[in-house]
Amino acid sequence: MSADVVPLRPKGGPPSLDPMLSLTASGMNSVNAVILERMQSKIPLIPALAGHLISGGGKRLRPMLTIAGAELCGYEGSRHHKLAAAVEFIHTATLLHDDVVDGSELRRGKEAANIVFGNPATVLVGDFLFSRAFELMVEDGSLKVLKILSSASAVIAEGEVDQLVAQREIETSEERYLSIIGAKTAALFAAATRIAAVVAERSEAEERALDEYGRNLGIAFQLVDDAIDYDSEAAESGKGRGDDFREGKMTLPVILAYARGTPDERKFWEDAIAGFCTEDEDLARAVELINRHDAVSATRERARHFAQRAIDAIAGFPAGAARSAMAQAAEFAVARRY
């Protein structure tokens, strides 16, 4: 257990990530050291490109979940540092490949790696980081952890392909959307949290509880990400406002606005998602329609449901700094505006 003092949430104040950050601060220092050390290579372009993204101000939420989960399980060893770094490498590899796939121009508020270094190097450095993640897991030596993370990696790739197939497909249902984000985002959240229980040698039931926490948190997190892309009140998200709209991605705000729309509005959505309306004025109309049908707040409401499930999934663990930080992180995931 951490001896750190976890700041309490001021009564009635907005949920904050601070308790999570305090809880995991010392562990994340060790994780960051592993990340920096193991992204090195005798080919200088590799750390240059990887570092562009890795030092680019990401929240490192996934490795943080491994550290927090280990705290929750009362784990006192250090095996999870390497494994948390492996999780972040897998995540970084998928981001690099995503940016190539989407032709992204911005990532975390600065030029995406594919713009600075080109698609070829970005694809290959993603492959390197992915391989390095497996090397770290092999060094740890747990076949159970390897199984969890290799299977999550395959599911992530399936989710990404499925998202690609659903792109520009106006008839995408909420069900299918949930299946896509469950694969492309929540599978790694679930695996990151689950492996903490494996390292701490806790029961199968506790493993499953941490898996559920991570999975539901991941869904909530992605729902809010997708809401923010259309949220006129939200601060600029690092990923570039309206990206999903221009790429014709069927996210929940669009699915709901389309479902709730008039025939005229539906015609607009059909054209927009097909790629015929991608100007700024089209984005403005999209945001207006989404507001008219409360699709952003409905998406946040859906997120709240999954966040609550995440919180309840870990209710069986002893109360304490770890559990309350993880619960508040789930509330924060719903409330955040960036």
Residues that bind its own copies (CB under 8 A): 41-43, 45-46, 93-94, 97, 100-102, 119-121, 123-125, 127-128, 130-132, 134-135, 137-138, 141, 143, 146-147, 150-151, 153-154, 156-158, 160-162, 164-165
Q: Of the two residues 104 and 237, which places its CB atom closer to its own copies in the complex? A: 104
Q: What are phi and psi of 111, to 5 degrees?
A: -55, 135
Minimum distance of its own copies from residue 71's CB (angstroms): 27
CA–CA distance, 75 with 210 (Å, rounded to integer): 14
Minimum distance of its own copies from residue 156's CB (angstroms): 8
Q: Of the two residues 154 and 284, which places its CB atom closer to its own copies in the complex? A: 154
Q: Of the two residues 109 and 120, which places its CB atom closer to its own copies in the complex? A: 120
Which structure tokens are listed for 199?
């390292």
CB 306 within 8 A of CB 219: yes
Minimum distance of its own copies from residue 108's CB (angstroms): 20
Minimum distance of its own copies from residue 204's CB (angstroms): 18
C-alpha dist (Å) from residue 240 to 57, 59, 245, 287 = 15, 17, 11, 15
Q: Which amino acid is at 144?
A: K
Minimum distance of its own copies from residue 90's CB (angstroms): 9
Q: Of the two residues 21 and 157, which places its CB atom closer to its own copies in the complex? A: 157
Minimum distance of its own copies from residue 276's CB (angstroms): 20
List the alpha helices (DSSP H) in the chain: 18-38, 45-54, 61-72, 79-102, 113-117, 119-140, 143-166, 174-181, 187-199, 204-228, 243-246, 252-260, 263-274, 280-292, 295-313, 321-335
Minimum distance of its own copies from residue 14's CB (angstroms): 37
Number of residues in the chain? 338
Q: Of the two residues 21 and 123, which places its CB atom closer to its own copies in the complex? A: 123
CA–CA distance, 274 with 15 (Å, rounded to integer): 38
Q: Of the two residues 181 and 330, which places its CB atom closer to its own copies in the complex? A: 181
* DSSP-derived pairing of the beta strands 110-111 and 106-107: antiparallel
CB atoms within 10 A of CB 280: 8
* Helices 61-72 and 187-199: angle between axes, nearest 10 degrees: 30
CA–CA distance, 242 with 228 (Å, rounded to integer): 9
Minimum distance of its own copies from residue 207's CB (angstroms): 17
CB atoms within 10 A of CB 10: 8
Q: Of the two residues 131 and 173, which places its CB atom closer to its own copies in the complex? A: 131
Q: Of the two residues 135 and 236, which places its CB atom closer to its own copies in the complex? A: 135
